């Protein structure tokens, strides 16, 4: 596998030029610390850590974790890398300053987390899951709980997990069987089993803080009866150190398709002492704080798959000689031409690059709303951030992870037969990428959330905000006599996408009035179309800024020329794929729902 290089210039282009994050930072607590110089220093040093410490462990980590009598050992080098991560203060970037954090806006850690994911996906999941635990406790924990757990989690000395899934109960949490019985001292005894718990057991930290969903004895039926609990692996002692072992044990770890370096645990809670977070029976709403953080992190894993696979495939395509170019010999001194000369190889590489850079922009754009939601000075800005982030989240999680698999698949294809062989590392990226479309809510679940709660039930409010912003950016470029012919063409396509997006949402609402299954039948296609529209806005913004910089003679001209080349491929060759989804959304749902259930019964 080729060496991984963090695209620091791309992050700085997005933060400093395209999104103008400094303007947003004026509205958030801690934003005054996030100067351009500070951000560049963080990204530069973060890149060194990812390239030098984590990336070399990516392939070897695929050998996996080892389970023995309830204890889990992570792959060689993982623990040492984690110690360096903690010593350098990386876990505390966005933590509250009162508890040892650096108080920086979440957008900075969002970008850094993508670097971690790209360098070593499985390793990055260990600290990544702690961020959700921190966010949940900050929003819903008592002062006592915050004092006990937050400083340890923020520093990285302890780590966190989230425990939702049971063997019979994944997305349908109303079927949950884990029970919580109150004790006289205010704690609870928790009994049950959770499965698929990422980073559920490991040797990186001295304690693991599990955030667990369970039901009280008087719980109402369904999801309204779910409560949320803190269950530490070791109960904290009075002085804050690790105390007695709690009744939570790892029964096994899963043997799975990818991310072998992360322990996906089966956790047994046997009279485990837990502590209620928030009000009884309100656990699901509190858990959504965790889920939203995790879903944005999962979206960045899609970007990571595209970036890592692209870098490997591009390096190989430049070196690999095979056949002659159909337009004429390009390497007269060699036996064949580099495969990068062949149009289909370029198509695959450009698709990977469009996905990586476009999805990175989508996450950066949305991270502005995460900043407002978590740290806004004005309550009105906090509400705005929450609403806008809520609309973006299912698109980020659903669309970007699906495109990450596409990009990783092309990485294997560029290598040909070598891509299928483990030693090159490309098949590992593909295997790892597949889980991102499943955990933290499948693509289908994200799609239902987007068209249902975030669009139709919202009466199209946030969709109108987004599409209006698309037009507000593109229309001046479209109408200006100074705009180049190429940029004007991109602006026109962006405007058309904004209107088409609204039209498709309206049509789905009309279909649902006649047949409610129309929502489920068209939801994924609506999500994917939404992703293309979102990405079109991002490429419009990036292309306009790149052209502006070139005209002004500022910055790295080669970087900006490359950005315009990639934008051209996006608008000419990638964006047209959205038309398939638009056509499918409006098609008759009879082909999906008209056949009886026994149509699928292969035993009949």
Q: Which tokens hold the place of 146?
A: 């915050």
61, 154, 329 from 333: Cα distances, Å: 40, 57, 10
Q: Are 276 and 216 in contact (CB under 8 A)?
A: no
Mark 153-165 as b/e (b = at least 16 C-beta within 10 Å).
bbbbebbbbbbbb
Q: Which tokens hold the place of 206?
A: 């001295």
Extract the runs of DSSP E, i.e. beta strands, from 261-395: 264-277
Euclidean distance between CA atoms 216 and 225, whole angstroms: 8
Euclidean distance between CA atoms 477 and 470, whole angstroms: 12
**Of these residues, 53, 166, 427, 440, which one is catalytic?**
440
Q: Are 450 and 523 in contact (CB under 8 A)?
A: yes
Q: Reply yes or no on whether 440 is catalytic.
A: yes
- The residue assigned the tokens 């395209």 is 18
162, 170, 171 from 196: Cα distances, Å: 10, 10, 12
- Distance in Å from the first CA to the final CA of the chain: 48
DSSP secondary structure letters along 382-450: HHHHHHHHHHHHHHIIIIIHHHHHHHHHHHHHHHGGGGGSGGGSHHHHHHHHHGGGTTTS-HHHHHHII
Report, as residue numbers or ranges, the catalytic residues. 440
């Amino acid at each position: 596998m080729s060496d991984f290089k963090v695209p620091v210039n791309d992050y700085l282009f997005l933060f400093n030029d395209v999104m103008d994050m400094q303007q947003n930072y004026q509205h958030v607590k801690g934003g005054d610390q996030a100067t351009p110089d500070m951000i560049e220093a963080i990204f530069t040093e973060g890149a060194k850590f990812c390239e030098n410490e984590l990336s070399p462990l990516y392939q070897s980590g695929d050998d996996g974790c080892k389970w023995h009598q309830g204890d889990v050992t992570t792959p060689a080098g993982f623990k040492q890398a984690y110690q360096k991560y903690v010593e350098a203060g990386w876990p505390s970037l966005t933590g509250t300053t009162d508890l040892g954090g650096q108080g920086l806006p979440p957008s900075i850690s969002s970008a850094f987390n993508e670097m971690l994911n790209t360098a070593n996906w499985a390793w990055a999941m260990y600290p990544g899951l702690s961020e959700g635990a921190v966010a949940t406790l900050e929003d819903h924990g008592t002062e006592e709980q915050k004092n006990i757990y937050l400083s340890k989690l923020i520093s990285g000395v302890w780590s966190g997990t989230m425990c939702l899934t049971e063997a019979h109960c994944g997305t349908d949490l109303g079927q949950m069987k884990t029970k919580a019985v109150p004790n006289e001292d205010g704690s609870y005894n928790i009994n049950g089993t959770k499965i698929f718990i990422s980073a559920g057991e490991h040797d990186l930290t001295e304690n693991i803080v599990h955030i667990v969903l369970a039901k009280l004895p008087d719980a109402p039926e369904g999801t309204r009866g779910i409560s949320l609990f803190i269950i530490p692996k070791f109960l904290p002692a009075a002085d804050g150190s690790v105390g007695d072992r709690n009744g939570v044990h790892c029964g096994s770890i899963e043997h799975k398709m990818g991310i072998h370096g992360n322990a996906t645990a089966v956790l047994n809670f046997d009279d485990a002492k837990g502590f209620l977070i928030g009000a009884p029976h309100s656990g699901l709403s509190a858990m959504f704080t965790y889920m939203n953080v995790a879903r944005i992190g999962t979206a960045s894993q899609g970007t990571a798959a595209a970036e890592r696979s692209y870098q490997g495939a591009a390096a190989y395509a430049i070196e690999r000689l095979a056949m002659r170019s159909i337009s004429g010999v390009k390497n007269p001194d060699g036996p064949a031409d580099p495969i990068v000369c062949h149009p289909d190889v370029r198509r695959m590489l450009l698709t990977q690059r469009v996905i990586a850079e476009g999805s990175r922009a989508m996450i950066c754009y949305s991270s502005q709303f995460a900043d407002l939601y978590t740290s806004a000075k004005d309550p009105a800005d906090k509400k705005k951030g929450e609403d806008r982030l809520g609309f973006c989240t299912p698109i980020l999680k659903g669309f970007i992870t699906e495109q990450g698999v596409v990009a990783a698949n092309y990485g294997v294809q560029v290598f040909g037969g070598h891509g299928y062989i483990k030693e090159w590392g490309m098949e590992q990226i593909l295997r790892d990428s597949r889980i991102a479309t499943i955990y933290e809510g499948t693509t289908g679940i994200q799609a239902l959330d987007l068209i249902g709660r975030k669009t139709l039930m919202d009466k199209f409010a946030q969709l109108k905000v987004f599409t209006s912003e698309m037009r507000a950016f593109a229309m001046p470029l479209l109408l200006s006599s100074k705009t180049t012919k190429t940029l004007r063409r991109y602006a026109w396509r962006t405007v058309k996408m904004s209107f088409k997006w609204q039209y498709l949402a309206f049509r789905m609402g009309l279909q649902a009035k006649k047949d409610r299954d129309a929502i489920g039948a068209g939801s994924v296609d609506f999500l994917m179309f939404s992703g293309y529209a979102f990405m079109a806005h991002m490429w419009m913004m990036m292309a306009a800024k790149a052209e502006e910089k070139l005209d002004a003679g500022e910055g790295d001209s080669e970087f900006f020329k490359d950005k315009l080349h990639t934008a051209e491929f996006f608008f000419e060759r990638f964006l047209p794929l959205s038309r398939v989804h638009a056509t499918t959304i409006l098609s008759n749902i009879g082909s999906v729902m008209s056949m009886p259930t026994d149509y699928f019964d292969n035993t009949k």
